[in-house]
């Protein structure tokens, strides 16, 4: 109706009090209320949505199509389509996104790198050297 793609259903829940040690790969949707010590990856060949709730903690990389964060992530975040940072979001690491929605109060300690086309923009692109004119007397 408003030119928005239908989101995949959230079929997986890591509840408050649960902890996963190691990498975790998911399809469709995942809601995280607990903690993960490892990389959290939505399958690239299947639409994915990841909700990191206020009580959640991730120590590792995050990869998904649509990422909604209101908890803590210690590592880089890669949102292949959209990244939503809610007021209590705390990210320590670089963030890559195609579209970004950031609420007041969200905090990112790292670089914000938008995806232009299909290529992430690099912040450290080489800049031309400036030459100053010599003062000839």
- Give the range of the structural domain holding residue 74, as residue numbers without chain letter: 10-108
- 36, part of any domain: yes
Total domain count, the chain: 1
- 45, part of any domain: yes
- 20, part of any domain: yes
State the pLDDT at residue 28.
92
- 103, part of any domain: yes
Task: Kindly report, residue by residue over 25-54, the tens digit of the pLDDT.
Answer: 999 999 999 999 999 999 988 899 999 999
- 62, part of any domain: yes
| pLDDT-based confidence at residue 5 (cuts at 50, 70, 90) | low
Q: Exposed, middle or buried: residue 70 (CB in 10 Å: 0-12, 13-18, 19+)? A: buried
Tell me the C-alpha distance between 54 and 112, whole Å: 21
The β-bridge partners of 83 are: 67, 100
**Following CA atoms 111, 115, 120, 125 in sequence, which dihedral angle do they give, to the nearest 10 degrees?**
-70
| pLDDT-based confidence at residue 1 (cuts at 50, 70, 90) | very low
| pLDDT-based confidence at residue 132 (cuts at 50, 70, 90) | low
- 96, part of any domain: yes
Task: Kindly report, residue by residue over 57-70, the tens digit of the pLDDT.
Answer: 999 999 999 999 99
- 125, part of any domain: no
| pLDDT-based confidence at residue 90 (cuts at 50, 70, 90) | very high
- 133, part of any domain: no
């Amino acid at each position: 109706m408003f030119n928005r793609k239908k989101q995949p259903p959230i079929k997986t829940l890591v509840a408050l009090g649960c902890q996963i040690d190691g990498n975790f790969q998911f399809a469709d949707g995942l809601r995280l209320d607990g903690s993960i010590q490892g990389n959290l990856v939505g399958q690239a060949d299947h639409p994915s949505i990841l909700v990191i709730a206020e009580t959640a903690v991730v120590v590792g990389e995050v990869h998904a199509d649509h990422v909604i964060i209101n908890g803590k992530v210690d590592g880089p975040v890669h949102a292949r389509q959209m990244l939503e940072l809610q007021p209590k979001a705390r990210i320590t690491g670089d963030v890559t996104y195609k579209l970004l929605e950031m609420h007041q109060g969200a905090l990112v300690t790292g670089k914000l790198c938008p995806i232009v086309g299909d290529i992430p923009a690099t912040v450290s692109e080489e800049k031309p050297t400036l030459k100053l004119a010599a003062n000839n007397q």
